[in-house]
Amino acid sequence: MNLESILIVFAASVVELWLGIPLGLVMEINPVLIIIFSAAGAILSALAITILGENLRARLVKWKYGDETALKETRMYNLWNKYGIIGLGLLSPLIFGAPLGAAVGIALGAEKKGLILWMSIGIVIWSIALTVAGSMGLLALETMVK
């Protein structure tokens, strides 16, 4: 384990949380460090999309839907009304990744602070869960091979 391995996990998690954690496990990095750096990378990407995305939202909605009322008639908007910012923040890191989840939240008009908070909570939860599951899976595989 060295600084380069940790930076690879961080950079991979900026792109996708599902990519950073397995890389860290393969490179035999301490699972606690994998959790910390993969979560930090994913939170950074969600934060960047949230901050930069607000300016693009109006253009995107106008280009894709024409106006705000057409957006409110979509299936995604109905799901947004059902589960809200908490559901998006907790599920999007697992389902379609932190950057895309943040983009969806911004496109649907989520409040920045709430989106960042719930995305961060979801990222930390899934970083812990996926790292523990991966570590336990590798441990079970090693035990079966012996």
- The structure's pTM equals 0.85
Select from 16, 9, 21 the least CA-distant residue to 93: 16
Distance CA 105, CA 116 (A): 10
**Could you report the per-residue pLDDT of 32-86, keeping only the tens digit for each?**
999 999 999 999 999 999 988 876 766 666 666 666 666 666 666 677 777 788 9
* pLDDT, position 70: 64
Distance CA 35, CA 65 (A): 39
Count of other CB atoms within 10 angstroms of residue 140: 10
Domain residue ranges of the chain, discontinuous segments joined by +:
3-145
User: What is the helix (H) or strand (E) element at residue 129, kind and residue range?
Assistant: helix 112-145
Min mean pLDDT across 64-78, 80-94, 101-115 is at 64-78
* Helices within 16-111 (DSSP H only): 17-26, 31-65, 68-71, 75-95, 98-107
